[in-house]
């Protein structure tokens, strides 16, 4: 399941408790990530899922669910 893989990476990279990472979690407001954290996370996700995040779309990725849905769309 994509969500579980994404969640595991977020927990590891951002050093947050797993229960804090839900589909609705906002990277900045809920998980205290900064832009560097988010960039590092997205680079890791690209390697794991074999995709590339579109630079224009990166700005729209605010929540965990945004990233999961992007991966689901792009991976097809």
- Active-site annotation, residues: 34
Residue listed under structure tokens 């769309």: 73
Is the separation of the CB atoms in 2 and 67 below 8 Å?
no
With beta carbons less than 8 A apart as the criterion, state whether 30 and 69 touch: no
């Amino acid at each position: 399941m994509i969500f579980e893989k994404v969640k595991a990476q977020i927990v590891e990279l951002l050093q947050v408790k797993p229960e804090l990472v839900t589909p609705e979690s906002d990277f900045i407001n809920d998980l205290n990530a900064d832009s560097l954290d988010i960039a590092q996370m997205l680079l890791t996700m690209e390697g794991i899922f074999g995709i590339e995040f579109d630079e224009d779309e990166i700005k729209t990725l605010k929540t965990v669910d945004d990233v999961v849905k992007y991966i689901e769309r792009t991976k097809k």
